[in-house]
Amino acid sequence: MSEPRSHRRADGAPALAPPGGSAVDAAAEWRARHELTRLGHLLYERGYNVATDGNVSWRLDDDTLLVTPTGAHLGFLRPDELVVVDREGELLRGDRAPTSEWPLHREIHRARPDSRCVVHAHAPHAIAASLAGIDLHDSFITVAPIPTTEYARVSSEQTPAVLRPFLRDYSWAILPRHGVVAWAPSAWDAFLRVESLEHCAKVVLAARACGPIAPLTPEQRRELLTVWGLERLA
Ligand SMILES: [Zn+2]
């Protein structure tokens, strides 16, 4: 796509004015494009996505999402590659179709208006845990419980359906044999969630390779859930 036209704001800062949009909206979109690009690079550098795996999105407003296009390599993503789609996934800006995992992003953005950024990654240790049938929900190391959804075929409408039961209470989930998804108010927080989730999977897999893991007592478990504001899961 061509970049939005630039002009100067009253305070002298550069702003961007797209056809039919306000300067403030365009500046916010351009910032989001750069944040998602940096996020894509970090996910690749950390080994959470390889080749054209994974995708990210940002809710610009109630009606529009900024999302990675199909076939994008997140490690080499450019801000101008991202596309803008409406609530139904119709392309508004950009020259490629949105990611085939688009329904997953739509589902989360609809269910969690408090969240702006959604990250989907093929984090290898989290996938390995799901292949081995290891549930990370009760790992209780330093992170809140991580749910694993039912199996869903990649890039299908099954994926948002299996995720739906976890959207209210959690900020992340493992999609078995596929990857992870996390959502947060900022791109940075969404990245931290993926990083923490993958680290937890790595620790649990290492521990399981050495032997059985001793569970916490019910009281210790309840205490931690209270710290995380998840008493209802106790
Ligand atoms: Zn995927």
Q: Where residue 178 sits, what CATH number does that domain have?
A: 3.40.225.10
Q: What's the rounded mean pLDDT across residues 69-86?
A: 97
Q: Does residue 86 belong to any structural domain of this protein?
A: yes
Cα(122) to ligand 1 centroid in Å equals 6
Q: Does residue 119 belong to any structural domain of this protein?
A: yes
- Distance between terminal CA atoms of the chain? 50
Q: Tell me how many domains the chain contains.
A: 1
Q: Does residue 121 belong to any structural domain of this protein?
A: yes
How many Å apart are CA 39 and CA 163, to the nearest integer? 22
Q: Does residue 191 belong to any structural domain of this protein?
A: yes
Q: What's the rounded mean pLDDT across residues 122-129?
A: 98
Q: Does residue 204 belong to any structural domain of this protein?
A: yes
Cα(223) to ligand 1 centroid in Å equals 34
pLDDT tens digit sequence for 129-158: 999 999 999 888 888 899 999 999 998 889
pLDDT tens digit sequence for 47-72: 999 999 999 999 999 889 999 999 99
How many Å apart are CA 168 and CA 107, to the nearest integer? 12
Q: What's the rounded mean pLDDT across residues 22-41?
A: 89
Compute the Cα dihedral for 132, 182, 81, 44 and give only its sign. negative
Which ranges of the chain does DSSP label H, i.e. alpha helix?
Answer: 23-45, 102-111, 124-131, 158-163, 187-210, 218-227
Tracing tokens 């001793």 back to the chain, one arrives at 214
Cα(166) to ligand 1 centroid in Å equals 18
Q: Does residue 25 belong to any structural domain of this protein?
A: no
**Boundaries of domain holding 160:** 33-209
Q: What is the pTM of this model?
A: 0.87
Compute the Cα dihedral for 215, 202, 186, 173 and give only its sign. negative
Q: Does residue 53 belong to any structural domain of this protein?
A: yes
Cα(178) to ligand 1 centroid in Å equals 6
Contact 121, 54 (CB under 8 A): yes
pLDDT tens digit sequence for 8-29: 334 443 344 444 455 558 999 9
Token output for 212: 């059985």
Q: Which among 104, 80, 82 is positioned nearest to 91, based on CA atoms?
A: 82
pLDDT tens digit sequence for 155-212: 888 999 999 999 999 999 999 999 999 999 999 999 999 999 999 999 999 999 999 9
